[in-house]
Amino acid sequence: MTVKINTAEQAASLIDKYDTFLFDCDGVIWVGNELLPSVKETIELLQSKNKKLIFVSNNSTKSRIEYIEKLLKLNINNIKLEQIINSAYSTAIYINEVLKLNKDKKIWVLGQNGITSELQNFGYETLTLDDIKDKELTMENINNLIDLNVGCVVVGLDFQLTYLKLCITLQYLLNKDIPFIATNIDSTFPFKNTKLPGAGSVVEIASFSSNRKPDAICGKPNPGMMDSILSHHKLNKDKTIMVGDRLNTDMKFGSVNDIDTLLVLTGIELESTVSNGHPDVTYYADKLGDLYALGSK
């Protein structure tokens, strides 16, 4: 049974029921670089009640440290590094601890420095188009742009996507011995009252052109994200809630991990998709900030 949170009593009872809050970021905490209404007050209210807060984002464009910096810029304080779990970090953990890629192999990254930073933190050498020097960066020169030491490909969201980057990615993926790792499958993400292509859309281009599906997808709802959380935190699943804006990642992540969920309508999903109930959605609300705002009327 899916319940809408729209009274002070419902907000208070939800806060009391859980001791751990897993927060998705894009569409829940912020949209782009703008904090959503009453988020700061809600986080501070939960901190004052000694709740455990963990930020669980599929966004791989930033490293965890850059997430802390973004939160501080938005005046959200007292968040420690281990409270940030994003798909760039879970991808690095996967490659290091599951794939166990040899450190003498380079990793070609179609994505941003969130991915390269987290991989470098595990001792991997990463390669992006920006790293290729003293070569003509054109498709005519494609055969001279391939590094034979590349042993893995990671594809994530890249705001500087180019055709040449896709050409180089394809060359590596044509070699079936090179693992194809996707950070996440989000088709879009919310931005400036609209939505833009997400990592999943970039992964689809690499996948379609190479006729390969990713060998691993490291973001929500896949198990790697929960494994990454559990590598830092003990969770009582009965007292943990996943707060997100997307059904096929955040809410699915909650349901596959047997934890309750709160869908907020400040990101991707519309009220019409949930108002008649959804099996993966325990509660829904107009915004995360209602956990504070409803009680402060």
Nearest to 215 by CA among 173, 245, 260, 186: 173
Q: How many residues bind ligand DEZ (CB under 6 A)?
A: 13
Report the distance separating Cα 263 and Cα 3, nearest Å.
10
Ligand-binding site membership of 26 (annotated): yes
Ligand-binding site membership of 258 (annotated): no
- Beta-sheet pairing, 52-57 with 125-127: unpaired
Closest CB to ligand DEZ belongs to which residue? 198
Residue 245 as a binder of Mg ion (CB under 5 A): the answer is yes
How far, in Å, are 4, 12, 65, 80, 268 from residue 7 at the CA level?
9, 9, 36, 31, 23
- Residue 194: CB partners within 8 Å, gap ≥ 6? none
Contact map string, positions 80 to 119, toward ligand DEZ, x by CB under 6 A: ----------------------------------------
* Window contacting ligand DEZ (CB under 6 A); options: 8-16, 24-32, 133-141, 281-289: 24-32
Ligand-binding site membership of 220 (annotated): yes
Q: Which of 10, 58, 83, 257 binds ligand DEZ (CB under 6 A)?
A: 58
Report the distance separating Cα 111 and Cα 104, nearest Å.
21
Which one, 245 or 290, has the nearer CB to Mg ion?
245
User: Please, which of residues 194-213 interact with ligand DEZ by CB under 6 A?
Assistant: 198-199
Ligand-binding site membership of 245 (annotated): yes
Q: Which of 27, 214, 221, 254 binds Mg ion (CB under 5 A)?
A: 27
At position 181, the amino acid (one-letter code) is I
Cis peptide before 223 (omega within 30 of 0): no
Nearest distance from residue 57's CB to ligand DEZ, in Å? Answer: 3
CB atoms closer than 10 angstroms to residue 214: 19
Nearest distance from residue 137's CB to ligand DEZ, in Å? Answer: 25
User: Please, which of residues 176-195 interact with ligand DEZ by CB under 6 A?
Assistant: 184, 186, 189
Residue 118 as a binder of Mg ion (CB under 5 A): the answer is no
Q: Residue 186 binds what, of ligand DEZ, Mg ion, none (CB under 5 to 8 Å, by partner type)?
A: ligand DEZ
Residue 260 as a binder of ligand DEZ (CB under 6 A): the answer is no
Q: At what angle do helices 199-210 and 163-173 cross, to 10 degrees?
A: 50
* Window contacting ligand DEZ (CB under 6 A); options: 10-18, 21-29, 92-100, 123-131: 21-29
Q: Which of 10, 38, 59, 113 binds ligand DEZ (CB under 6 A)?
A: 59
Which one, 54 or 157, has the nearer CB to ligand DEZ?
157
Residues labelled catalytic: 24, 26
| Binding site, annotated residues for substrate | 57-59, 220
Which residues of this chain interact with Mg ion, rule CB under 5 A? 24, 26-27, 245, 267
| Binding site, annotated residues for Mg(2+) | 24, 26, 245
